[in-house]
Structure 1
Amino acid sequence: MPTMLERHHADGTFLLSGQTVPSEDGGLILAAGVDRATAEKITTEDPFVEAGVGRYSITTVTPGRVHPALASLLGG
């Protein structure tokens, strides 16, 4: 059974995920193509959140400038 990260990377929702530096700050996921309510629902699937040891802070960004190589990934 694929993990939560594997599922959302495979379906194209997660464009990037990884550890932040310094690692004490946690990690980061860059998602595209979902509204805030869907992003919030996805966070509840994280096993660390389910276990009560993880949490998410969601920041919504409206891109002002996008590199051409990323435009199609971001719906532009």
Structure 2
Amino acid sequence: MDEAARVRLQIRAVITVYRAEMSRLKAWQPSGETSEEYAKSLRTRCIDILDAARALLDGSAPWHPDVIAELEQARAEIRTGD
């Protein structure tokens, strides 16, 4: 697997886990405070993973801009909580 494919796979994995955990949280329906704490923790961890992947991309490879755009889209989805 080349580096571009690895980063794209990582992005997809983070988004998939985020969506699944948020769906599980909605179905679980814990108290408001517990729900918000869990969601905040999940968002923070997902953003940390995406930021770490972004830090490895310096823009020198031809595929970097495309992957950086995918990273930003993923971060936007997670930040908005959708």
Q: State TM-score, norm by structure 1.
A: 0.28
Bigger Rg, structure 1 or 2: 2
Q: Which has the higher contact order (CA 8 A, sep 6+)?
A: 2
Q: State TM-score, norm by structure 2.
A: 0.27
- Structure with bigger strand share is 1
